[in-house]
Amino acid sequence: MKLSIHLPEELLDEIFSHLRPDDRQSLRSCSLVSKSWLEPSRRLIFSSILIHFHTYQSWLSTISPTNTGVLRHVRSLEYFHHHQKPSDPRRGVYSLRDYLPSFSHLHTLTFRNFDVEETIPDHLEIFSAFQHTLSSLSLVHVSITWSTFVALLGYFPRLRHLEVRRVLFRVDDRPAPQMNHALRGRMVIDQLDNEGLKPFIDWFSGLRAEYEELVMLGPCEHRMVAAVGANLRFLEINLSGGGTTPDLSRFPELRLLKIVTLDPQEDEHFLVSSITSANFQKLVVVLPPTFRWGPPRDTCLWPLFEEAVCGLSDRLRVLGARHILEVRFHARLGWGYSQKYRRAFLPKFQEKGEVRIVSC
């Protein structure tokens, strides 16, 4: 007599969650155990999909666009074309046109390494299946017109994460559509050169931006920081690659500032001195891998920077802040090494706030 035990799907989900996300072979094996294991296995196998230029044809031949039983499990979709090959109209967004209606629960969408069609604003209905579920959009190494970019942002009202990396914005005659909602959440900008960044800022300033988080991994540009709106709470900027230093006095909600720098002195002094938010809590300084220090224990590394953070701590106390300001340094230091020279990291400030040294 055979005994069969049917575990609830919630329990199966918990069991399968202990497998590595990239362990597809184990998940496929689980899907063959029994009929009741098939659906929980599919949820993990198809939760994140990468359609690569090498796998595009196999995707077309193995997955039917009407196979909603599989495609409805997709939460993250990345479409990656070979940027070095001649432009192929079959490999743009429209090549997924038959599949997109089946991605009814899509949360994250990434376009990488191809030219986005300029007629997309006329056919936004192809994204209608996940218009109200998509929360993250990433454009990486793509070419796109400004009107198409704005149309995509405006079509997804729940968008809370936007990444723009190595994007070439093409000039077009089509007017940019009006935004029906404000842009909120987190925006990441990376490797937009000066020729691309300046027009992007000019265009972006006309949008309804109310971002709470901004990450600029390339050269810092003060106009870009100003364009994200006054609700900014988290800012990460790279001062090691040049650019212009922003004035942070216009951000009353700022709580955390992360600076990537080679030598926290003059620009960082101005940056910290401009903070007026009574809600500010933490300053993170990321030092380069080449950083080495071995001075006498009571010698301060950066006197101007220490003056700025001491002044910030005093301003917070005057404004009635009840929390202790924390300054955290990220550097490649061993634990014993960092403890030995801890006093060199803002010795005067350590009487007013908290200093942490994180080896990374």
Whole-number Cα distances in Å, 65 to 68, 94, 128: 8, 13, 15
How many whole angstroms separate alpha carbon 217 and alpha carbon 187? 11
Tell me the pLDDT of the chain averaged across its residues. Answer: 84
Q: Which residue has the higher pLDDT, 70 or 254?
A: 254
Q: Which residue has the higher pLDDT, 283 or 297?
A: 283
Tokens 């925006």 belong to which residue? 187
Q: Which of 76, 126, 65 has its CA nearest to residue 99?
A: 65
pLDDT value at position 89? 45
Res. 346 pLDDT band, cuts 50 70 90: confident
Helix (H, G, I), strand (E, B) or coil at 234: strand
Q: Which of 277, 279, 259 has its CA nearest to residue 268?
A: 259
Contact between 324 and 350 under an 8 Å Cβ cutoff? The reply is no
User: Element (H or E) spanning 256, and its range?
Assistant: strand 256-260
pLDDT value at position 347? 87
pLDDT, tens digit (0-9, with 9 covering 90-100), for 5-51: 676 767 777 766 666 766 667 666 666 666 667 677 677 777 888 88
Model pTM? 0.86
Helix (H, G, I), strand (E, B) or coil at 144: strand
Res. 296 pLDDT band, cuts 50 70 90: low
- Residues 45-72, mean pLDDT to the nearest whole number: 82
Q: Is residue 102 packed enough to be buried (19+ CB in 10 Å), middle (13-18) or exposed (0-12)?
A: buried
User: Element (H or E) spanning 358, and its range?
Assistant: strand 354-359
Q: Which of 38, 184, 47, 24 has its CA nearest to residue 105?
A: 47
The listed range with the strongest mean pLDDT (33-47, 79-93, 158-172) is: 158-172
